[in-house]
Structure formats: structure tokens, C-alpha cells
Amino acid sequence: MIENPAPKRTELSELGEFGLISHLTSDIKTIHTSTIKGIGDDAAVLENGDLLTLVSTDLLLEGIHFDLSFTPFKHLGYKAAVVNFSDIAAMNGSPRQLFVGISVSNRFPVEAMEELYEGIKLACERYQVDLAGGDTTSSPGGLFISMTVTGVVSKEKVVYRNTAKENDLICVSGDLGSAYLGLLLLEREKKVFLADPTMQPDLEGNDYVLERQLKPEARVDIVKKLDEAGILPTSMIDISDGLASEVLHLCRDSNMGCMIYEEKIPIDISAGAIASDFNIQAITAAMNGGEDYELLFTISMNDFEKISQLKDITIIGHITDPNAGCNLVSNDGVLVPILAQGFNHMREE
């Protein structure tokens, strides 16, 4: 009797998060002409008359994306909404409607869900987004949140990831690394509490990095600022998984290389001090930490004078020929190849 060989088993960790997405979707073809852009950017782009409709979705799982031992429900609701708004901003658009799906177990009281929705509603009010629908179901264990956001952008102003050009300037909004360092602080204090529940958290003086982790903001203000200055980015992405990961996305999708400079990467002074406390380099947090939700974008060199006049935007490098690779120039002049070491959902523990 001939035994059938065991079916091939490929571990998810062999592909990683983005490798898995590519593997599962590489042969997908759109059918409708109204689907301008499908899988592969911060949001899908759909034909809608004079405007384009943007659609993005996100799934948040307790224990993976958030830790309820140090995340207040109101902050969680606010953050869950805002990170989706950030995807719309990364397409150079404006968020308009939000749809919320929640799967929740009976270990949570109604009051907890009320707090969660208070945060969601606060985010919608601040960003002028309609909370337009969703779904609620039971869960056998933890809390699961699904967010879908729609937005709009004019056809001539939509910006993709795959359209950077050689010699374009690479820019970033705000500062980087603070959200990750805020997470390190919260996780440290959690460990202290678990070891000795009588100990109170020692978080005083770290408001900025904690807010960056627990209550980030979508940079729709940067989209508006660029538009008012007459600057249309040549490519754009938001920074959710670390600068290194996102700049590699732009370059690979655009078939380009890049040169960015350590000395130019904006890092808040308080983040630098906290990084020293944890005995890590602040540049490591900025490159690989993630959850900053700032905008990383490229512009034409012709817009250099315009961008130089804008506050809260930093030029950190330029796009190069793809054969030059993607590199970071360290403060001591060493050329370091950029590697994506940010959060990866499918990475083997």
C-alpha cells in the first residue's frame, strides 16, 4: 500500500506579514473599472464621479495590538479610529465615514464598551468623520475591533506609494520614535506591577511619549498644509511599522533606492533621554519602533523652497537610482543598508 506523502506545510513566519499578503493576493485581478487601485497601498481607490473614494480597513486584537492592562478603553477607541484616518491622509485624502465592528466577550461590562465608544466618537468629532455603521458580535475570549474608513480625494491630487522618482526629496512630518519609547515605559511599569502589585506606576514627566503611544493623531493637518503651499507629494505612506519599513515600501513599490541621513531624522529631546534610560539608541526607536503615524512622503526638488518654509516637516534624504540600494548615512559617515525590523505580525517568536 502506497502512503500519500504529508501535505506541504509552510510556516507563516517564513513569509512574514507582507510576504503573506503578497503571496495570497499576487494573482488577484480587479473586474470593475471603478476599482482604480486595489490591494497594495494605504487605501483602495474607487471611482466616484468628480472625486475618488478611498477605503481602508484595520483589525485590532487584544494582546496583539493593545494591552488593556495599561490602555484605557477611551484611549483605545480614539486610537483605533485615528490610525485608520491616518491611512486616508497617506493617500492625500480626507476621511469621511467610519464603520466599527466589535467582537466582545462577557468578561467586559457595558460600561467598558461605553468608554470605548466615547473614544471613537471623540475621534470622529475631532476629525469631522461620520460614525456611519458597523456590527457587534460575541467573542469566546478577548476584544476584537474592526475599523473601516472611507474618504475622498480629488483625482488630480491622489498620491500613491509607487510613484517616487529619482532625485525626489524624502520628507517626514513630526518626530519619530516617541510612540515606541512610550510603549517601553508602559511595559516596564507593567512588569514592576506584576512583580509587586503594591508598587505604583512611575510615569511622571513622560507625558509626551505616553500620549504618542496611547493617543496618536492622524496628520490630516499636514495634507492641508501641503495643499495650501501648492505642494503635491510624488509618493506617500504613513509610518505605522517604523521609518525603515515604510521607506523600503516606497522604494520597492517605486523601483527606486534612497539615501537618508541619521542627523536629519527628527527625534524629540524627551525621547532621546528615555532611549538612554533603556540603553538603546534613539535612532533605533525612530527607524524600527513604529506607531508614530507620521507621514513619510517624497516631493520634487522643484518644491524645495516651498517645503523649507513649512514647520513640522523635515527633509531627511533623497530618492536614488535603484542600483544604489536603500541606505542610511550614520552620523559618523558610515553607509548602512536599511533593513525592515519593525513590527511584523507573522514573525516567529
Residue 23 domain-assigned (yes or no) = no
Mean pLDDT of the chain: 89
Same domain, 225 and 126: no
pLDDT (0 to 100) of residue 345:
44
DSSP helix/strand/coil, 347: coil
Is the pLDDT at 36 greater than 60? The verdict is no
Mean pLDDT confidence for 330-336: 94
Choose the final residue of a domain: 154, 177, 201: 154
pLDDT band at residue 30 under the 50/70/90 scheme: low
Domain limits at 293?
169-337
Instruction: Name the residue with cell 517645503.
Output: 307
Average pLDDT over residues 314-342: 93
H or E element: which one contains 123? helix 110-127
Residues 144 and 173 in one domain: no
Question: Looking at the structure, do residues 117 and 209 belong to the same domain, yes or no?
Answer: no
pLDDT band at residue 205 using 50, 70 and 90 as cut-offs: confident
Inform me whether the pLDDT recorded for 349 exceeds 50: no
- CATH code, 266: 3.90.650.10
pLDDT of residue 241: 92
In a domain, 253, yes or no: yes
pLDDT exceeds 50 at position 161: yes
Please check the confidence at residue 176 and state whether its pLDDT lies above 50. yes
215 and 285 co-located in one domain? yes
Side-chain half-sphere of 152: how many Cα atoms within 13 Å? 9
Would you state the pLDDT for residue 124? Answer: 96
The pLDDT score that the predictor gives to residue 284 is 95
> What is the pLDDT at residue 240?
94
Q: How many domains does the chain divide into?
A: 2
Domain boundary among 91, 126, 154: 154
Q: What is the pLDDT of residues 95-110, one digit of tens each?
A: 999 999 999 988 889 9
Please check whether residues 191 and 330 belong to one and the same domain: yes
**Nearest partner of 33 among 22, 21, 45, judged by Cα:** 45
Same domain, 198 and 314: yes
- What's the pLDDT band for 346 if we cut at 50, 70, 90? very low
Who has greater pLDDT, 17 or 266?
266
Q: Which residues, at least 6 apart from 245, have a Cβ–Cβ distance to it below 8 Å?
A: 288, 290, 340, 341, 342
